[in-house]
Amino acid sequence: MTLEKPTVWVGKAGVSEGLVEEVSRQLDARRAVKVKVQRSLLASRTVEDVAAEVAAKTGAELIEVRGHTFVLYRRRKRKPL
* Amino acid 81: pLDDT: 65
10-residue mean pLDDT series, the chain (81 residues): 88 93 94 95 93 97 97 83 65
* Amino acid 79: pLDDT: 67
What is the pTM for the complete model shown?
Answer: 0.88
| d(C-alpha 80, C-alpha 46), whole Å | 39
Q: Which domains does the chain have, with CATH numbers?
A: 8-73 (3.30.110.60)
DSSP string, 23-74: HHHHHHHHSEEEEEE-TTTTTTS-HHHHHHHHHHHHT-EEEEEETTEEEEE-
